[in-house]
Amino acid sequence: MSFKIALQAIPIILLLLLLVAIAIPACSPNPDTAKRVREYKSALSSKPGTEGENSEAIAAFGKFLQNIHNKSYLEENTSKIYAPDAYLNDTLVTHHGPEEIKAYFLSTADTMTTYEVTIDDTATSGADHYVRWTMNFSAPKLNGGKPVISTGMSHVRLNTAGQVIMHQDYWDSGTNIYGQIPILGGTIETIRRRFE
């Protein structure tokens, strides 16, 4: 085999490796959505929360959401906001307890170059509190580093000390995170258009 033929084969080999790298994760099993729902319902039943308005604790939670980019704030306040047995699912991952939650948010803060959350509205129904928010953030690996804007809502329950014992987020992570990843984002957008 001549050197010239070997050089011409390199792009083909790289393309094949890329296709294999994409195909292997695509063949992995689908996420167990029933398991995720069971985890959420288990958190609801095991963490009934305390009934009532508790506007101070909800305001503190809102301030926490607004400071997820601030590592020193996270270090100082996560265990004040989240109870020792807290449950968090932000649609991407599930974590338990303030140490796990803090580690997750600290690693998230490392990935962002800009971050801003606006609390749009709050509502209370018995022991359930709902915080509706708009998030504007940027990260070098998402959307070419340009801002990503998302709306969402956090469903929280509080213990008698006003700490969060259950935190379930509702937002479009498919479009706003996975949809911003090169190649994967285009695939998600193509699938979304087919449903229209």
Beta partners for residue 154, in sequence order: 131, 169
With bands split at pLDDT 50, 70 and 90, how would you rate the model's confidence at 129?
very high
Domains and CATH numbers, the chain: 33-171 (3.10.450.50)
45-98 per-position pLDDT tens digit = 999 999 988 999 999 999 999 999 999 999 999 999 999 999 999 988 899 999
Over range 111-140, report the average pLDDT: 95
Pick 53 or 142 by higher pLDDT. 53
Over range 36-42, report the average pLDDT: 89
Strand 128-138 with 148-158, pairing? antiparallel
- What pLDDT shows up at residue 42? 93
Over range 130-139, report the average pLDDT: 94
In one-letter notation, the amino acid at residue 49 is: G
- What pLDDT shows up at residue 179? 47
CA torsion angle for 29, 30, 34, 38 (degrees, to 10)? 70
Over range 135-157, report the average pLDDT: 89
pTM of the model: 0.76
User: What CA–CA distance (Å, rounded) separates 102 from 79?
Assistant: 8
- What pLDDT shows up at residue 32? 78
150-180 per-position pLDDT tens digit = 999 999 999 999 999 999 999 875 554 444 4
